[in-house]
Amino acid sequence: MPSHLHFTSMTLGMAPPATPLPLIGVMGGTFDPIHFGHLRMAQELAESLGLAEVRFIPSATPPHREQPMTSATQRAEMVALAIAGNPLFKLDTQELERQGYSYTIDTLQFLHEGLQGKARLCLLMGMDAFAGITSWHRWQELLQFAHIVVTTRPGAALPSSNLVLDAFLQTHMLSDAQQLPIQAEHGIWVQEITALDISATKIRESLAYGCTPRYLVPDKVLEFICQHDLYSGTSRY
């Protein structure tokens, strides 16, 4: 090419190459209580996607489900105990400080504004949560603020009858996880993780039946449950 013909991507009308940015995982949940399913999911995503950190954000007043059995403060304390010592994991209590329902869109918007373009957000969720996403408040706007990273979960599949969800996935699915740090237009990535059939519901049920959730939750979390006699009749563990 003659030296005076110097075309840039801008002059050719193409999008400029995006700069890779650090990725921050956003792990919302009720965490009633936090368990190894949550922790392993966050760890595997942090490693496979190269996340700079994962923020655990307990929902104070979840809009889509029965209200938790324990207070938001107790759930946040259990998260703090569970993640202590992992330099990648951080507790973020912003939803405890807000009034009304804890909408994920508000949390993402707040985080996105605080980052001022210095990092990209990845909203992390299991397949069960993603299957219900079209009922979330302002769900179509989630991708304005974050990528969505969906993990496999035992017993959870995409509902084949939800055409809206299917179209959402097909339209925004990324072809490669390598796109996450560089692609300014947010997309959806589905990641397979180690299948751990652990749920907070089963943990609460086993405690109610007088069984221990030992080896399903970190020991410190179990100690906290016992000390505060959460989920009924647990003090003997």
Question: Which chain residues interact with ligand ATP by CB under 6 A?
Answer: 29-32, 37-38, 41, 125-126, 128-129, 151, 153, 196, 198-201
Nearest distance in Å: CB 200, ligand ATP = 3
Q: Name which of 20 and 154 has its Cβ closer to ligand ATP.
A: 154
Q: In what order do the strands lie in the sheet with 147-151?
A: 89-91, 53-58, 23-29, 120-126, 147-151, 188-191
**Paired tokens of 141:** 């706007």
Q: Name which of 21 and 92 has its Cβ closer to ligand ATP.
A: 92
Nearest distance in Å: CB 116, ligand ATP = 27
Residue 44: is it exposed, middle or buried by C-beta count within 10 angstroms (0-12/13-18/19+)? middle
Q: Name which of 30 and 107 has its Cβ closer to ligand ATP.
A: 30
**Paired tokens of 223:** 């100690």
* Residue 14 CB partners (closer than 8 Å, separation 6+): none
Q: Name which of 66 and 97 has its Cβ closer to ligand ATP.
A: 66
CA trace torsion 166, 169, 171, 174 (10° rounding): -150
Nearest distance in Å: CB 5, ligand ATP = 52
Nearest distance in Å: CB 11, ligand ATP = 44
Residue 79: is it exposed, middle or buried by C-beta count within 10 angstroms (0-12/13-18/19+)? buried
Q: Side-chain half-sphere of 185: how many Cα atoms within 13 Å?
A: 7
Q: Name which of 154 and 210 has its Cβ closer to ligand ATP.
A: 154
Q: Tell how far CA 99 is from the center of its chain.
A: 21
Q: Name which of 119 and 129 has its Cβ closer to ligand ATP.
A: 129
**Paired tokens of 72:** 């938001």
Nearest distance in Å: CB 102, ligand ATP = 12
SS3 content of the chain, % helix, strand, coil (to 5): 35, 15, 45
| Residue nearest to ligand ATP as judged by C-beta position | 126
Nearest distance in Å: CB 118, ligand ATP = 26
